Amino acid sequence: MPQRLRQWNLRLVAALAAVLALSFVSSSFAQDALTAPVVMRVGKRLACRCGGCRNSVATCPMIHCEFGDPMRRRILKLAQEGLTDDQIVNTIVREDGIVALASPPGSGWGLFTWVMPGVALLIGFFVYSAYVRRHRTTPEKITPSDQAVLDRFSSQIQHELGEDNEVPKK
């Protein structure tokens, strides 16, 4: 019995090793196709919309991303059909909409999304500076007792820094 059990265990271990090796080899072949240069070039221009990241399809860090992997396969399929990078992007944008792009286009409303943050900062700067100018008050005059305290601290600072030979008054 122990001999049979040992043989059975060896066969089980060999089968498990074969399954693991085949799955590793097949997944590495699939991953190589999904990281082809054309997929990476086009994928950088398309947004990953998996909800777990804010990256492009090419740089999505999630393993087996529910959006990135199918999109990479789709890019590879379109590239194998002979489409250029721009044609692939245009096809995907036509089917999925402008949200498929990783960055908005530089024309039309897309230009507005590029310009608006700078315009908002300028408007905020002018509103803030107008508020500060309007609510500015003149400083109060220093009273003699406050001036005496300031002089005492000033002479103490000068003494501690070695700039004055006088001993501070207490």
Q: What is the pLDDT of residue 113?
A: 81
pTM of the model as a whole: 0.51
Q: What is the pLDDT of residue 147?
A: 92
Indicate the fold that domain 2-103 takes in CATH.
Helicase, Ruva Protein; domain 3 (1.10.8)
Domains of the chain by residue range: 2-103, 104-136, 139-170
Select from 98, 110, 106, 107 the least CA-distant residue to 46: 98
Higher pLDDT, 24 or 149: 149
Q: What is the pLDDT of residue 28?
A: 45
Per-chain mean pLDDT for the chain: 82
> Which amino acid is present at 168?
P
Question: 91-148, pLDDT tens digit by residue?
Answer: 999 998 888 888 877 777 778 888 899 999 999 999 999 999 999 988 888 999 999 9
Select from 18, 40, 19 the least CA-distant residue to 31: 40
DSSP 67: T
86: number of CA atoms within 13 Å, CB side?
A: 0
Q: Is pLDDT at 26 greater than 60 in this prediction? A: no
Measured in degrees and rounded to the nearest 5, phi and psi for residue 143 equal -75, 160
Which of 86-93's residues contact partners 24+ apart within 8 Å by CB, and which partners?
A: 88/42, 89/42, 89/45, 89/46, 92/46
Q: Is pLDDT at 31 greater than 60 in this prediction? A: no
Q: Mean per-residue pLDDT for 45-53?
A: 85
Q: What is the pLDDT of residue 97?
A: 86
Q: Is pLDDT at 78 greater than 50 in this prediction? A: yes
Q: Which residues partner with 47 through β-bridges?
A: 56
